[in-house]
């Protein structure tokens, strides 16, 4: 219940804080950081059954590129793999647009939404009958469209050298055509990770 109230408050706070301290004209962003995350996944309604999230671990890797050379609008690209022993593991490819205003000092919030493709595996060995014989198809699953939306909080202190920007987030994912009887299935992720902003060599110089 607390989470339900906390997040709308966070959104309101973000809206009132738009254009805060670091929203100046100085470029404060470096494209293509390495984004590594720990994912805690559950098939659950948004902000419900949070305990289940911590039963299912996963990892994510991704990167992002700024739409404006600034920190506040970025396009994210992620691959997440998670293990869910009850509902089946999954591999998720997604891209999201993120609005990332600064809050106080170097801390920032993030609201993101996008599109993805989810490959869902089965939790156990499965079978198909062909010519009267049952044959195993292992844990063969199904691909489906995913609609992700999420929020994050993080810390970003731009430096000219390699630096790390940690964050925590909550991602909601709606999976389409899970089966014919349940057309949309929600899954949620609690995310903890870091953007590692390396200094890439400038290949344009001799």
Contact set with other proteins (CB under 8 A): 36, 38, 42-45, 48-49, 52, 57-59, 81, 83-88, 120, 122-129, 132, 134, 137, 140-142, 178-182, 185-186, 196, 198
- In this structure, are residues 119 and 90 in contact, taking their beta carbons and an 8 Å threshold? yes
Instruction: Report d(CA 75, CA 67) in Å as an integer.
Output: 7
Give least dist CB 203 to other proteins, A. Answer: 20
Do 42 and 82 form a contact (C-beta atoms < 8 A)? no
Identify which of residues 79 and 196 has a Cβ nearer to other proteins in the complex: 196
Residue 203: count of CB within 10 angstroms of its CB: 5
Q: How far apart are CA 99 and CA 20, in angstroms?
A: 14
CA–CA dist 53, 192 (Å, integer): 13
Contact indicator for 89, 126 with CB cutoff of 8 Å: no
For residue 102, the 8-state DSSP code is B
**By C-alpha distance, which of 184, 120, 188 is closest to 148?**
188
Q: Which is nearer to other proteins, 38 or 168 (CB)?
A: 38
Question: Nearer Cβ to other proteins, position 160 or 179?
Answer: 179
Min separation Cβ 105 and other proteins, Å: 25
Residue 82 CB, nearest distance to other proteins (Å)? 8
Give whichever of 34 and 97 is closer to other proteins, judged by the CB atom: 34
Q: Under a CB-based contact definition with an 8 Å cutoff, are residues 60 and 193 in contact?
A: yes
Complex with other proteins: residue 109 or 185, whichever CB lies closer: 185
CB of residue 157 to other proteins, shortest distance in Å? 18
Give the nearest distance from C-beta 80 to other proteins in angstroms. 12
Nearer to other proteins, 124 or 204 (CB): 124
**Closest of 81, 100, 1 to residue 36, by C-alpha:** 81
Rounded to a whole number of angstroms, the minimum distance from the CB of residue 147 to other proteins is: 16
């Amino acid at each position: 219940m607390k989470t339900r109230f906390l997040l709308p408050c966070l959104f309101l706070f973000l809206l009132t804080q738009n254009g805060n301290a670091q929203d100046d004209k100085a470029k404060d962003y470096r494209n293509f950081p390495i984004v590594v995350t720990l994912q805690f996944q559950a098939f659950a309604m948004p902000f419900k059954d949070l305990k289940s999230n911590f039963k299912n671990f996963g990892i994510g890797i991704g990167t992002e590129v700024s739409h404006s050379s600034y920190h506040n609008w970025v396009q994210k690209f992620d691959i997440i793999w998670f293990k869910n022993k009850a509902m089946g593991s999954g591999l998720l490819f997604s891209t999201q647009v993120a609005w990332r205003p600064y809050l106080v000092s170097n801390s920032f919030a993030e609201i993101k939404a996008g599109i993805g493709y989810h490959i869902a595996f089965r939790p156990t060995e499965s079978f198909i009958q062909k010519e009267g014989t049952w044959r195993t198809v292992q844990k063969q699953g199904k691909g489906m469209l995913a609609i992700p939306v999420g929020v994050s909080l993080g810390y970003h202190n731009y430096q000219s050298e390699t630096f790390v920007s940690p964050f925590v987030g909550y991602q909601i994912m709606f999976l389409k055509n899970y089966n014919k009887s349940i057309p949309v299935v929600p899954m949620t992720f609690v995310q903890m990770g870091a953007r590692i902003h390396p200094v890439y060599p400038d290949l344009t110089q001799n």
